Structure formats: structure tokens, C-alpha cells
Amino acid sequence: MAINKFLFHAGRKFRILVSVMIEYPKEFIKMLKKANSVAVLTGAGISAESGVPTFRGKDGIWKNFSAEELATVDAFMNNPERVWEWYLWRRQVMSGVSPNPGHKALAEMEKLFDDFTLITQNVDGLHRQAGSNSILELHGNISLNKCLECSRPFAGEISLERGELPKCECGGKIRPDVVWFGEMLPRDIINKAFMASERAELFFSIGTSALVHPAASLPVTARQSGAYLVEVNLDPTPLSGFADLAIHGKAGEILPGIVKLINELRDEPKK
Ligand code: APR
């Protein structure tokens, strides 16, 4: 980083040369230049810098709350009020946050490649708020509701104060439109995610512990199908040793640098 700051004053071409040669492997630079098809998988880590808690790790949600009691169909059947109380709290947390430079960099990156797919496990809607369009929300969206029985969307308000939770026209209970443990992911979305991973020449796995399947299989599928696999994460994960390049640091600091580098590489005169 010190080198970059110093070179900031040393003229554009020299800066490019140094970032190319010192900061990233040649193969990665080559892929940034030539890839047409790019897929990205994000997890809770990309929203951490916006103030959304992650699930695992020291201060992770699952350290303080029980997934079995809050994020399963059984939990909802047993105590819908308790599950809703938790989701309404999470909605409140998420309503007060904004996209960070990591989300914004991915929205920029989308414009730089012909075929770009952003696959997210996050339910916070921050990628859309940042301006991304090509998004596959694998685990749903916390701001939406649906019927437990017929899956029809429900746009009405959910309030625990009124005593009784709303019901669908079919009589089913209304639940958050997220994927709970033990549930299948929406078939069309996960199929599209696997197709994007198979055709990707460059795949980024960002801010995910890479533990929860099927999402965790996507980077593996991508690499086995020939993609150059890059991980961006604060800490090593089970994917790190399998990736072609593992970059350890904050997504909100690393991704803007990568987007800047892509732009610089495109501005370079062709030889
Ligand atoms: N930049 C990059 N990575 C970060 C940052 C950051 N600023 N902050 C945290 N991380 C990393 C952590 O090191 C960790 O590896 O993000 C990862 C977050 O992991 P998890 O909390 O396990 O989140 P995720 O992988 O998205 O979880 C998958 O599990 O409980 C379910 O449905 C939930 O979608 C979620 C799924």
C-alpha cells in the first residue's frame, strides 16, 4: 500500500506497471484483461463494513442466537411470533444501513464485463441499493414476505402489536421470504447460479465462510469448469487453498482497488 501511495505522484503508467507486477500475480492480471464472463459469490462479509452482522466468527449471529429456534420451518410452526420478532429486529437493523465501497465496486464491475452475474447469499438487498442489476439472491430477501403454504407474495405490514399475524388468502401463515435451514433454494435461481459458475472465466468468492451448501459448491464448480478462482476474505477459509488467488483483507478496501485496476488495464495502450 505504501508503494501505491508513493507512486500516486509518479505518473500513471508507472503506477499501473507496479500494481500489475507487485500486487497481483500475472495470471490474475491476464484474466482481468481477457475475461468476458465473470461470476461473483458474496456472503455476509461484504455487508459487514455496512454494519450488518455476519453469521459465524467471534461476533457472529449464530454465536448469540440459535438457528434451530429461529431459522427453520419447525421453529416457525412452533412459535411464529418469536421468529417474526427476530426477523423484524433484523429488518430494523438492515433498514438503517447503506451499501459500502465493496457493494459499490461490484456494481461498477458489472458494467465492465459482457457477461456478469452477481450471486449473493445475503438477504439485505444492499447489492441492489448499490446499483447492481444482475443479481441472483440465493437465500431470498428479508424485506419480502410470502405464504408458508402457497408461497404467494404478501405485501402487507407485519406487526406483532396487533396480536394476530396476517394470513394469506389461502389461510396459510405469512413468513419472511428467506431460505431457512433444511429448505431447498429456489430452483430457477440456483440453476442460473450454477450455469453462471460453469461458464465463468473468472470467479470471485467474497466475504463468505464457504461452509453453507449449495452456495459453497459454486466456486468449486467454477474452478473445475476452468475459471480462475479468486477469494477475497478477511480470514482464510476452506476455499483459500483451492483458490488460484486468496486475498486477505476487507472487501470494501480490496474491491475498489480491483475495479480501478481493471479500468487502468483497459486504458493501457495496446501493443
Ligand atoms: N471483508 C471480507 N470478508 C469479511 C469481512 C470483510 N470486511 N468481514 C467478515 N468477513 C468474512 C469472514 O471472515 C467470514 O469468512 O466473511 C465471512 C462471513 O461468513 P459467514 O458469517 O459464515 O457468512 P456467510 O458465508 O454469508 O454464511 C452463509 O449461512 O447462516 C447462513 O443463511 C446464512 O447466508 C448465510 C449462510
Could you write out the DSSP letters of every residue in 25-64? -HHHHHHHHH-SEEEEEE-THHHHTTT---SSSTT-HHHH
pLDDT of residue 270: 65
Of 7-21, 37-51, 157-171, the range with the highest mean pLDDT is 37-51
Question: How is residue 45 written as a grid cell?
Answer: 462479509
pLDDT of residue 141: 97
Among residues 9, 103, 127, 139, which one is catalytic? 139
Q: Which of 85, 81, 49 is nearest to 252 (CA)?
A: 49
Q: Is the CB of 207 under 6 A from ligand 1?
A: yes
Q: How confident is the model at residue 163 (pLDDT cuts 50, 70, 90)?
A: confident
Q: Is the CB of 208 under 6 A from ligand 1?
A: yes
159 beta partners: none
Phi-psi region of 206 (alpha: psi -120 to 50; beta: other; left: phi over 0): beta
**Does the structure show a pLDDT above 90 at 7?**
no
Q: Is 139 marked active-site? A: yes
Report, as an integer, the average pLDDT of 55-65. Answer: 84
**Does the structure show a pLDDT above 80 at 80?**
yes
Edge to edge, the sheet with strand 135-137 lists: 135-137, 115-120, 37-42, 202-206, 228-233, 245-248
Say if residues 57 and 233 touch (Cβ distance below 8 Å).
no
Residue nearest atom 29 in ligand 1 by C-alpha distance: 212
How far apart are the CA of 226 and the centre of ligand 1, in A? 25
**Does the structure show a pLDDT above 80 at 12?**
no
Q: How confident is the model at residue 22 (pLDDT cuts 50, 70, 90)?
A: very low
pLDDT of residue 8: 31
Q: Using alpha carbons only, what angle is made at residue 151 by residues 147 and 152, rounded to the nearest 5 degrees?
A: 80
How far apart are the CA of 54 and the centre of ligand 1, in A? 5
CA–CA distances in Å: residue 4 to residues 12, 211, 252 = 11, 34, 17
Does the reported pTM lie above 0.85? yes
pLDDT of residue 160: 85
Q: Is the CB of 246 under 6 A from ligand 1?
A: no
